[in-house]
Amino acid sequence: MAPQAQPHQPGPVLEVRGLKTHFKLDDGLLRAVDGVTFSVARGQTLAVIGESGCGKSVMARSILRLVKKPGFIAGGEILLHLGDSTVDVAQLRPNSVGLRDVRGQHVSMVFQEPMTSLSPVHTVGDQIAEVVRVHRTRDRRAALEVARDTLAKVGMPDPARALRAYPHELSGGLRQRAMIAMALAARPALLIADEPTTALDVTVQWQILRLLQGLQAELGMAMLYITHDLGVVAQIADAVAVMYLGRVVEYGSVYDVFENPLHPYTRGLMKSMPALGHRGEHLEAIRGNVPVPINLPRECPFRSRCDFAFEPCGELPALLEVEQGHATRCFLHHREVEHA
């Protein structure tokens, strides 16, 4: 696919700085996201990878302020750069017009389970048209037309029929397309995708990925794409953030992270995660489990599972750039930086 021409404003559409999202539980404070920093460039795709329980979903939901109590944003900034203005989503009030504008108009989200965002009691057409009416045109007929065009864009075989269908009348793959159509109807600057293809069979997964790439190029939209699948990362991402226990432990271009993974956790993930189309191959699990992030000692969080742990790992490493654009939170590489 031809690369997307860079839109007029260069630079990031989203900058997350030191984001912390915690849950107040009876057992203590659960630090699901604990100081995450990354950015997503305009029109580009950042893939977020990491084992189950590392905080990917909570981080993604925090960007749209969808985390419910006992969860709360404990600190940090979620800077959305929109044309000439910048909004810190972390500072918006829960029911404010500003937050409503961010959701749907500027940032949309698609999930693994389409019924998370589709209502079972309204037709697909009415649901997409409602998004269009809130954000683009008040006219009902015009909104339905935009809805039909959007359904055609996402590859719905019979868009006119899909407009009148209720979500349960569609197959899993078509429901996924309907959810994507709803997410795209407002033409967001950023689409957050939380494993949207995991439940689908491989052929449909590829179709949806191609579709997202095509739409991204056409609309100049950026994507934050959460996945467990390295084949998907290789296919769609420009940059990769590896998350472990609520923090980014490695960040870089997809080429750098795949060719030269720096953090022992990233290397372990590469050996343990399936690549698309290679489901049968032998995979090595990383030893141990992701701990629950309550009352963890202040040391490298991967220390207990790491084959390379040494004395400095009793401290918490910072996320440092060790090559241009390639950062890691690991003392193995920080020593190289210090001695360079």
Ligand X SMILES: Nc1ncnc2c1ncn2[C@@H]1O[C@H](COP(=O)(O)OP(=O)(O)OP(=O)(O)O)[C@@H](O)[C@H]1O
Please state whether beta strands 45-49 and 222-226 pair in parallel, antiparallel, or not at all (unpaired).
Answer: parallel
* Residue 30 or 90 with smaller CB distance to ligand X: 30
* 91/94 Cα distance (integer angstroms): 9
- Using the rule CB under 6 A, which residue among 87, 199, 292, 316 binds ligand X? 292
DSSP, residue by residue, 193-258:
EESTTTTS-HHHHHHHHHHHHHHHHHHT-EEEEE-S-HHHHHHH-SEEEEEETTEEEEEEEHHHHH
- The region of 7-15, 46-54, 114-122, 132-140 touching ligand X under the rule CB under 6 A is 46-54
Of the candidate residues 22, 42, 56, 103, the single one contacting ligand X (CB under 6 A) = 56
Within its chain, how far is the Cα of 110 from the centroid?
9
**Taking CB under 6 A as the rule, does residue 196 contact ligand X?**
no
Among residues 127 and 205, whose Cβ is nearest to ligand X? 205
Task: Give the total of residues touching ligand X (CB under 6 A).
Answer: 14
CA distance 273 to 283: 7
* 268 sits near ligand X (criterion: CB under 6 A): no
Per-residue contact flags (x/-) with ligand X for residues 69 to 98, judged by CB under 6 A: --x---------------------------
End-to-end CA gap in the chain: 39
Q: Is 104 in the site for ligand X (CB under 6 A)?
A: no
The span from the CA of 59 to the CA of 50, in Å, is: 12
Quick check: 53 binds ligand X (CB under 6 A)?
A: yes
H or E stretch at 72: strand 71-82
Nearer to ligand X, 32 or 89 (CB): 32
- Is residue 162 involved in binding ligand X (CB under 6 A)? no
Residues from 233 through 252 that contact ligand X (CB under 6 A): none
Whether the Cβ atoms of residue 70 and residue 21 lie closer than 8 Å to each other: no
38 binds ligand X per the rule CB under 6 A: no
Smallest separation, CB 304 to ligand X (Å): 16
111 binds ligand X (CB under 6 A): no
Closest approach, Cβ 60 to ligand X, in A, equals 8
Q: How far apart are CA 17 and CA 34, in angstroms?
A: 11
CA dihedral 163, 165, 171, 174 (to 10 degrees): 10
Our CB check for ligand X shows the closer of 58 and 89 to be: 58
> Could you say which DSSP state residue 161 is in?
H
Nearest distance in Å: CB 52, ligand X: 3
Rule CB under 6 A: is residue 52 a binding residue for ligand X?
yes
Q: How far is CA 251 from CA 48, 67, 150, 256, 339, in A?
A: 9, 24, 34, 9, 21
- Could you tell me which stretch among 56-64, 123-131, 143-151, 307-315 binds ligand X (CB under 6 A)? 56-64
Q: Which ranges of 252-294 would DSSP assign to H, the alpha helix? A: 254-259, 264-272
Residue number with CB closer to ligand X (329 or 333): 329
Do 269 and 47 meet the contact criterion of CB atoms below 8 Å apart? Answer: no
Binder to ligand X among 19, 47, 54, 276 (CB under 6 A)? 54
Task: Verify binding: residue 57, ligand X, rule CB under 6 A.
Answer: yes
Whole-Å CA distances, 5 to 14, 106, 191, 225: 19, 20, 18, 20
> Is 224 a binder of ligand X (CB under 6 A)?
no
Q: Is 301 in the site for ligand X (CB under 6 A)?
A: no
- List contacts with ligand X (CB under 6 A): 23, 30, 32, 50, 52-58, 71, 292-293
